[in-house]
Chains A and B, each alone.
Chain A
């Protein structure tokens, strides 16, 4: 595998490139979907190919092909060179400034105790259909669905600096959901086993059955729940709900390519401008947000990124103060850093790498604190669980998020479900309103598997995490008129 990639880099060097890299990927996927008591689909795919990225006189060119032969490699390098010359027709002053990185020879393999591709379809069907059967026992549930998804990405990477890297990462994701239908309303409730870079060993049938019963009962309860009140309330978010808030309001906001305007036309820019490094009060002193592309089982833990930089751990926010960004080698110089943070990834062999959110999580509280104790200190508030409606402006300031299930809190206790509740805030206002987060016993990771960014769009995966966390006086609005 490395031989042909070496050939690509040698050809690029010979053509006068200042830098080039070549990646070959083999991507295997399986998706199994259930609908009520049937499997509605099983699709499998095997997708292979390579891409060559060349930096020529400060301009990028990239080309790719599914045919991995010596002749095709030569053609693709020539195409990438042609494209780089076309890019040079509108060249940024000084061209691309590429951060140095040592050459590595590394191999990384994620932990996978039970290969999901070796597990029979019958076993997967049994898991999903058994869960659906439990959900359908609830008379209000008119549709029960489930999903299992598995992916294995093998990657070989070579660059003109001498790096030779290989990774083999297997990931798994799943979800079950119930739709309850009433006379004048319908409501959905779901459960996801956190997506991770693990194999089938992360799934236990008993978990699915227990969660199926809970999900069905809560879908029914949502039907008769009262509409959420509106106004300013204290709120508690569970780890899954807050994971998405971290993703949207911190993860994307602190991607340096966005800050520098590279994503303006699609994903947007960011309010976290460079002068804020080391100064900006992103959140309260309870808030430390850690990036970690070495996190065990994390979806962004892949050994090294697509710039050939090994995974790293760093603080994005420490004790409430903004520290630094996620970067790639093209962007480190914009903040005077000599080395990339290793967070530049492509979603396919035919895609060009871009800065992506790393594994990113809220550190648990240092003092012992349970969710019950967290809630006990709220007179009137809301408890948000799971992911639902989520929307944020392109500068990552104004956001509005819901929950898949929301409870009203009165006098320190959860008293009943609410319908159509949304919390709406501005990123710094929200994080500065954080006054407590539970300790590490309650910390949980949650995988995001459909993060869209780039133009054309690329889809990436990463893991977030948090313990249940409290925010004071957050504006609550409703997604439905009374």
Chain B
């Protein structure tokens, strides 16, 4: 749906006679996912989906209903009746908030006309070109080239309206040899064939350098995390720790922690040039820039409208991206400044081990190397680590420039050089 179609569709729903208040969210996606392994396409699927979510409020009662038959008038009418019927049976909840009723200016931070115009056959050609690079190097390639074309529209019976069109591209590729693998990605809004081929070359190069890994006995050591590894860790930390209510109620690592967290800043901003996103939330709130760490100092964390009202705080909605600033050093500079350490491409299967210290565990994956006297000397067997994000951020001694990363969440992350990082066991 374009802006006008979405506006008319939502207006039509809001005009249906109803008690109380109604919020309407409509979104649609057309996503082609071309998956390949062993240098050949293994799956190729086009997902076309639209959803309509109706949220009804009757004083302090709230309920929601989602359907996907947008062109079925009878189902839409039935859904409106159903959401109010369910809402009437809900017990009162003091945390239910009224609709905002704000009309938001349409932004296009995450829209690119050239990307929007890409066709199935072009994506197929690009995936085939990446596969050919692998075949030419006699290295197995596996990965995904995915392009999603989306829109999202919001309206409420208090007069609120918002609409945006956006895209999300994701290319990631793993190159596998006999005894090691390499990985690279290209994330963001736009995608070009050159980006895909460059990422494929990086993965192949890493794979070649990852063969015949040696054992590095796991111990605390200096580590250089490439941006994807930093993003893997910061995304988990953000969801586990950066909530103001949990902090205030004693349920967060920050409840009893008031010191600084290193010197970097950590924020969210839909207009971030490195990885822009849609600029409003599912309840029609505008998303602006939100600072979570200001040069290491903890700021007010994610704050819902209810918690903000109750505690006389500003609202800080859940964002669509996270960005960690860096000091701009190149990866080579970070390596050259390291006497003894480990270089990590990315992490895998990170899980919380202790919420009270933002403690996590995870594995290294697809390319880990020993650094000695400022040079990468040899690949090492992948390792498990156990580490607290509070310690990690305090132990950052140098950092790079934020780049786009994240298959699931939009992130802009720099490479980080961290001292005393706790590796605990070998993968094999």
Contacts and interface: CB of A to CB of B under 8 A. Distances in A.
Contacts of A391: 349-351, 361-363, 384
Contact of B47 (A93, A350, A390): A350
Interface residues of B, number: 93
A41 B124 contact: no
A419 to B, nearest CB: 9
A419 B33 CA distance: 43
A332 B228 CA distance: 35
A48 interface: yes
B196 interface: no
A63 to B, nearest CB: 5
Contact of B44 (A83, A93, A142, A393): A83
A143 B249 contact: yes
Contacts of B44: 59-62, 83-84, 86-87
Contacts of B40: 90-93
A392 interface: yes
Contacts of B183: 265
A121 interface: yes
Given A398-B425, A455-B35, A89 B353 contact: no
Given A90-B128, A120-B89, A479 B427 contact: no
Interface stretch (A105-113, A156-164, A177-185): A177-185
Interface in A117-161: 120-122, 125, 129, 142-143
A63 B46 contact: yes
A181 B70 CA distance: 46
A143 B362 CA distance: 28
B65 A43 contact: yes
A457 B407 CA distance: 10
A394 interface: yes
A63 B408 CA distance: 22
A422 interface: yes
Given A142-B250, A265-B173, A350-B48, A83 B120 contact: yes
A480 B354 contact: yes
B359 interface: yes
B45 A181 contact: no
A155 B350 CA distance: 35
Interface stretch (A64-72, A197-205, A316-324): A64-72
Contacts of A394: 348-349, 363, 365
A contacts with B: majority SS: mixed
Contact of A44 (B51, B65, B348, B388): B65
Specify which of B39, B67, B79 lies most central, judged by the most chain A CB atoms within 10 Å of its CB: B67
Contacts of A263: 37, 142
B382 A66 contact: no
A422 B428 contact: no
Q: Which interface class (under 10, 10 to 19, 20 to 34, 35 or more) fits A?
A: 35 or more
A86 B124 contact: yes
A297 interface: no
B80 to A, nearest CB: 13
A237 to B, nearest CB: 17
B95 A389 contact: no
Nearest to A120: B89
B93 interface: yes
A47 B351 contact: no
B34 A86 contact: yes
Given A91-B41, A397-B427, A477-B424, A66 B351 contact: no
B396 to A, nearest CB: 19
Contacts of B329: none
A48 to B, nearest CB: 6
B394 interface: no
A404 interface: no
A121 B90 contact: yes
A352 B41 CA distance: 14
A45 B38 contact: no
Contact of A350 (B49, B65, B351, B359): B49
A46 interface: yes
A351 interface: yes
B69 A400 contact: no
Interface of B: 31-51, 62-71, 75, 79, 82-83, 86, 89-95, 120-121, 123-125, 127-128, 131-132, 140, 142-144, 146, 172-174, 176, 181, 183, 249-251, 255-256, 348-357, 359, 361-363, 365, 382, 384, 386, 388, 408, 424-428
The 5 tightest CB contacts between A and B, nearest first, are A86-B124, A479-B353, A92-B40, A45-B66, A89-B128
